[in-house]
Chains A and B, each alone.
Chain A
């Protein structure tokens, strides 16, 4: 299991546990939540949104890392795992063998695109309903704050990948 999956499970297990306990109405959890509903909403927002952001964070981080390695001179075959990429993007492995490093990076980026769209759309909707329509009041604001942390990390990683792309002058190569 690679790092991405490990982190994802690390976040998913407490999240699922909390949800199951809440649904089953276990008393201890209810008292914890009632003691500070905002803190629980914050944690829920953070963990919940991280589950969505995990793929983006590791994806863009991986892109930035791959570009850095390429520039350092690591041979192309060792940077990107072509088989995994072929499986994820539903393309034939032969197709990927023929592509240059830059096009692989771009393929990777375009694969992340729909997740990024859905992720920001979800955050935008929550932002609108909590801030403008005041749904959820204090608890909604706490939830929004928690999710903002994951969003900032995902956005930062995306900016990092884009910056790495231009900073390392990949397009000028050959």
Chain B
């Protein structure tokens, strides 16, 4: 009797394990298929100010399952206490940067030539216009960058879910 009950227990455990794996397999696939069609808005993960070129380099991350094309950038410059430069606006700079799904891309923002280098406290509000292949609509994402001592700003991405 002992061996028979052991066999039954083994078969039950194996079947449980197999059923678990099968269930996970199918829900994982359907979940993956679902989120791969959701477009997401890009997140600015890093901003770096290049003093020589007087350019801000934005690192954009696309958390969704569809590629995103950034087609335009605009920005507003607001001076802080440490500069004499007046605030100005630059619009409609055309771009063509494609951010792959779950991928990063770099976008350069050239500040107006002739203006002094960014000083502590200066604020740049950059707006990126992007589209995704599911429709022709235009979306925008705006990012406020305040100049600090190092000229670098990093953002941590919270709750990044790993795709199985």
Give the B-binding residues of A (Cβ under 8 A).
Answer: 36, 38-39, 42, 138, 141-142, 145, 148-149, 152-153, 155-156, 159-160, 163-164, 166-167
Cα distance A145–B25 in the bound complex, in angstroms: 9
Query: A68: nearest residue on chain B (CB-CB)?
Result: B4
Task: Report how many A-B pairs have Cβ atoms within 8 Å.
Answer: 45
Contact with A along B11-40 (1 / 0, CB 8 A): 100110010011001100110000000000
State whether A152 touches B2 (Cβ < 8 A): no
State whether A160 touches B25 (Cβ < 8 A): no
Tell me, rounded to whole Å, the shortest Cβ–Cβ distance linking B18 to chain A.
6
**A149 and B2 contact, Cβ closer than 8 Å, known pairs A38-B29, A138-B29:** no
In-complex Cβ contact of B25 among A141, A152, A153, A167 (8 A): A141
**A156 and B18 contact, Cβ closer than 8 Å, known pairs A138-B29, A142-B25, A167-B2:** no
Q: B1 at the A/B interface (Cβ < 8 Å)?
A: yes
Find chain B residues with CB under 8 A from A39 CB: 26
**A42 and B7 contact, Cβ closer than 8 Å, known pairs A138-B29, A152-B15, A167-B1:** no
In-complex Cβ contact of B4 among A152, A153, A160 (8 A): A160
Query: B32: nearest residue on chain A (CB-CB)?
Result: A138
Cα distance A39–B1 in the bound complex, in angstroms: 39
Find chain A residues with CB under 8 A from B6 CB: 163
In-complex Cβ contact of A164 among B4, B22, B25 (8 A): B4
Cα distance A23–B2 in the bound complex, in angstroms: 49
Query: B14: nearest residue on chain A (CB-CB)?
Result: A152
Q: List 20 A-B contacts (CB under 8 A).
A: A38-B25, A38-B29, A39-B26, A42-B26, A138-B29, A142-B25, A142-B26, A145-B18, A145-B22, A148-B18, A155-B11, A156-B10, A156-B11, A156-B14, A159-B10, A160-B7, A163-B3, A163-B4, A167-B1, A167-B3
